[in-house]
Amino acid sequence: MEQAREATGKPTVVIARTVKGKGFRELENKDGWHGKALPPDMAERAIAELGGVRHLRIDGLKPEPGEPAIKDGKVNVTLPTYKKGEKVATRKAYGDALKALGARPTVVAMDGEVGNSTFAEEFAKAYPERYFEMFIAEQQLVAAAVGMSVRHYVPFASTFAAFFSRAYDFIRMAAISGANIRLCGSHAGVEIGEDGPSQMALEDLAAMRAVHGSTVLYPSDATSTAQLVKAMADQAGISYIRTTRGAYPVLYEDGAEFHIGGSKLVRSDPNDRVTLIGAGVTLHNCLAAADELEREGIKSRVIDLYSVKPIDRPTLQEAAALTRGRLVVVEDHYPEGGLGAAVMEALAADMDPPRIVHLAVRHLPGSGKPAELMDKAEISPRHIVAAAKRLYGL
């Protein structure tokens, strides 16, 4: 241990020859005694053999006082801005926003060797001394974030959304630890296309929603992504943001506000007949469906439910009331535990609960173009139109 303390350049592993139950011969190295308390009579014998009860006190050795080299400070973060209509992938906006947040000296980032895909590399290029490559080791990726949280840093860990499932037990335990960590899962859903189902996160929303005290975000455009990434920096507990591979039009003007627990009414009219609810890529599909419905004379309300947990219940209730309980929820995720489940759970106790058509990925997907796969999964605009009309009784 002395040598370990003084080691330079490399870590130390002390491998000790230990004996289970050491000190009480009746039990030493005996099978069948793992995780068992000694019965009182046996405990008496053991304590006697060990020399009896003692109350030794030690003060231990104190370290020299020291202060961390990095201190938190009030810093203005200038978020990136995007032109409405410009096509930008939300994963790119994540990288841009993370780089902007790097102005705060306690913000750190780590990635599972896919930084050029998650766009964590934007941060890495700007702040290499605060970026930690964790290679293809997702458990260590989350563990490193938890370790940084112990030391009061603001860690952002990113990889493909699908691969956080590999570190799920670490995420679950991080919640028990009260750690403050931020996770970004990119390449979510069938939308990733050609790479096929091994790379598609279709369970992540359910998994992350189930984590104690978690925050789950799924923005649809670059403007909202940047703002939500900033909000995550100040959010306690486990927060998760799901980003999309493909580039889609920026929907919101610079200056539009997004907050944890919020939503956006992207389209609304007093004469709305049906509500379309999406997040991420499916919001774009909802907007395309709304255009088609409008052409057919049906006004629809479109909600960007970017905060999956906590969820904006009042906005959902208002929409349900106005559109007479006609709700279509669309998600690029398996049907269990995701956006649809979140909406249904939020409204289930209402006096007059809505009728919800839930469009989700119900079959095992394969490879193909994003539009082909979304259509096959029945989460494409034409399926949303059909669902809305069915609810409307057409």
Partner 1 sequence: MAKSSVTEVRTTQGFDFIRELGQQLRVDSIRSSTTAGSGHPTSSMSAADLMAVLITRYFLYDWNDSHQPNNDHLIFSKGHASPLLYAIFKAVGVITDDEMLTFRKFGSRLQGHPTPALPWVDVATGSLGQGLPIAVGVALAGRKLDQLPYHVWTLTGDSELAEGSIWEGLDKAGYYGLANFTATGPNRVRVGDRSLPGPRPGLRMSCHRDRRPRPRADRSGVGAGARSHR
**Binders in 120-139 for partner 1, by CB under 8 A:** 129-130, 132, 134-135, 137, 139
Minimal distance, residue 188 CB to partner 1, in Å: 24
Q: Is the link from the previous residue into 335 a cis peptide, with omega within 30 of 0?
A: no
Q: Dihedral through CA 281, CA 81, CA 292, CA 366, nearest 10?
A: -20
What does 310-334 look like in DSSP terms, one character per residue? S--HHHHHHHHHHTTTEEEEE-SS-
Give the Cα separation of 91 and 280 in Å (integer): 11
* 138 is a catalytic site residue: yes
73 binds partner 1 (CB under 8 A): no
Minimal distance, residue 293 CB to partner 1, in Å: 49
Minimal distance, residue 75 CB to partner 1, in Å: 16
Nearer to partner 1, 142 or 286 (CB): 142
Q: Choose the binding region for partner 1 from 10-18, 270-278, 334-342, 360-368 (rule: CB under 8 A).
A: 10-18
Catalytic residue from among 28, 67, 86, 138: 138
- 113 beta partners: none
13 binds partner 1 (CB under 8 A): yes
Give the Cα separation of 277 and 258 in Å (integer): 17
Q: Choose the binding region for partner 1 from 14-22, 263-271, 298-306, 376-384 (rule: CB under 8 A).
A: 14-22
Query: Is 355 within 8 Å of 387 (Cβ atoms)?
Result: no
CA distances from 148 to 103, 132, 172, 295, 317 (A): 18, 11, 17, 53, 40
**Quick one: tokens of 259?**
């907050």
Binding flags for partner 1, 93-122, as an x/- string (CB under 8 A): ---------------x--------------
Binding flags for partner 1, 191-230, as an x/- string (CB under 8 A): ----------------------------------------
Binding flags for partner 1, 148-187, as an x/- string (CB under 8 A): x-xx-x---------------xx-xxx-xxxx--------
Burial zone of 263 (CB within 10 Å; 0-12 exposed, 13-18 middle, 19+ buried): buried
CA distances from 23 to 34, 45, 267 (A): 15, 11, 73
Minimal distance, residue 280 CB to partner 1, in Å: 30
Give the Cα separation of 139 and 346 in Å (integer): 32
Residues 6+ apart with CB under 8 A from 268: 301, 302
Q: Binding-site residue total for partner 1 (CB under 8 A)? A: 87
Minimal distance, residue 246 CB to partner 1, in Å: 31
Residues 6+ apart with CB under 8 A from 14: 1, 4
Nearer to partner 1, 36 or 295 (CB): 36
Nearer to partner 1, 110 or 328 (CB): 110
Out of 11, 73, 297, 393, the only residue in the binding site for partner 1 (CB under 8 A) is: 11
Out of 57, 76, 198, 364, the only residue in the binding site for partner 1 (CB under 8 A) is: 57
Q: Choose the binding region for partner 1 from 66-74, 197-205, 214-222, 259-267 (rule: CB under 8 A).
A: 66-74
Q: Dihedral through CA 126, CA 171, CA 232, CA 219, nearest 10?
A: 100
Q: Choose the binding region for partner 1 from 48-56, 222-230, 256-264, 385-393 (rule: CB under 8 A).
A: 48-56
Nearer to partner 1, 44 or 254 (CB): 44
Nearer to partner 1, 60 or 270 (CB): 60
Interface positions, 287-326, toward partner 1 (CB under 8 A): none
- 183 beta partners: 157, 240
Give the Cα separation of 255 and 251 in Å (integer): 12
Minimal distance, residue 229 CB to partner 1, in Å: 21
Minimal distance, residue 384 CB to partner 1, in Å: 41
Q: Which residues are part of the catalytic machinery?
A: 138
